[in-house]
Amino acid sequence: MERIEHFLKEREESGLLRTLKPAASRSEGLINFKENVYIDFCSNDYLGLSGHPALKSSQKEAIDTFGSSASASRLLSGDLDIHHELEEKTAHFKGKESALIFNSGYQANVGVISALCGRGDVIFSDRLNHASIIDGIVLSGAKLFRFTHNNIANLEELLKAHRKKYKRSLIITETIFSMDGDKAPLKKLVELKENYDSFMMVDEAHATGIFGEGGSGVAEEEGVSSRIEIIMGTFGKALGSFGAYVACSENLRSYLINASRSFIYSTALPPSVINANIKSIDLVREEPYRREVLLENARFFREELQKNGFKVKGASQIVPLITGESEPAVKLARELRDKNYWTLPIRPPTVPEGASRLRFSVTYYHTKDLLKKLCDDIVQIHR
């Protein structure tokens, strides 16, 4: 207990103590917290689908048919026809032979990586990959080499020096990075993967539903889906629901059903969630204007901030405003909250030391007029 108390005190004194902030309600880009209504810039509901009438009705339909829970793991009695319907639809959506549903992005990354790799194998991971990827690598027992973020030359140096020493080789990257909002150089990564006898896994959690002609993600946009062995993503962000998927070959799907502990030992996602996921893929195709408006408005906001001298990153709906140290990020977030904007500071260890920021998640609800006013308010605070 003394160690725990010391940890908490140290975090509080350094301004890094995390606390939960329960909201009374959230809908259509707004969040109600302590009887105040704020414009929500922390949500990953990028396309505004979480409140879509079609998703709500699909959930009610599933509850009426199947009840509120799957009530067991899929290898017992929790496997339903609609789980398979979703997997078939996901595979087609991602341009792959097959797909397997997981209960969350964290469980997918941890379960897939630890099942695929082990001692004697090697994994090359982008330095800014999500914590769930790192945890999966640690669980696998494989040797880890982290390459400088989006640095093809550094990755090739590592492959040249180390690939031949190990049995299997896996290269892992996100396609849209959750804290910087930038894209991975997928085509070049795929070329290296093929040149160095490796296989590849990409995390499309923040790209699914937004990028590509059909909204499938960056792998579709870059035309490399067929050359990437494992494409992972989530239903809980742009698709407005919950859960995750892995799109892959039929053989790999069968292997994961038998070897991925996070899949085997979890109660299946409830039918209401599965039905909503099925409908959300349909909506991405039926309402492409949502992602078009989203990306245009995010581009506008990023350029407005740059015009006013702010340091921003990314090329997506995620717009990080870099403050450097933690204190300015905390101060800016607090003053923006006074103006009814809900945005929280991102600080170490989530981002590296000296890279604290406000991470603005632009959604379909954020119009250009709203984003222009937000930029003007940030400028006013900095005067």
| CA 192-193-199 angle, 5° bins | 170
DSSP category for residue 148? P
Instruction: Note if 206 is an active site residue.
Output: yes
One-letter amino acid at 92 equals H
List, in sequence order, the alpha helices (H) in the chain: 2-13, 53-66, 81-94, 105-116, 131-140, 152-162, 186-195, 218-221, 250-259, 261-264, 271-286, 289-307, 326-338, 368-382
Q: Is 267 strand, coil or helix?
A: strand
Catalytic residue among 83, 237, 313, 366: 237
CB 123 within 8 A of CB 137: yes
Q: Is the peptide bond before 271 cis (omega within 30 degrees of 0)?
A: no
Catalytic residue among 83, 206, 313, 366: 206
Residues 6 or more apart from 317 whose CB is under 8 A from it?
46, 181, 206, 210, 294, 295, 298, 361, 362, 363
Instruction: Note if 34 is an active site residue.
Output: no
Catalytic residue among 169, 178, 266, 326: 178
Instruction: Note if 382 is an active site residue.
Output: no
CB 176 within 8 A of CB 359: no
Residues 6 or more apart from 290 whose CB is under 8 A from it?
47, 48, 49, 364
Residue 350: HSE in the Cβ half-sphere, 13 Å Cα cutoff: 16
Residues tagged active-site: 178, 206, 237
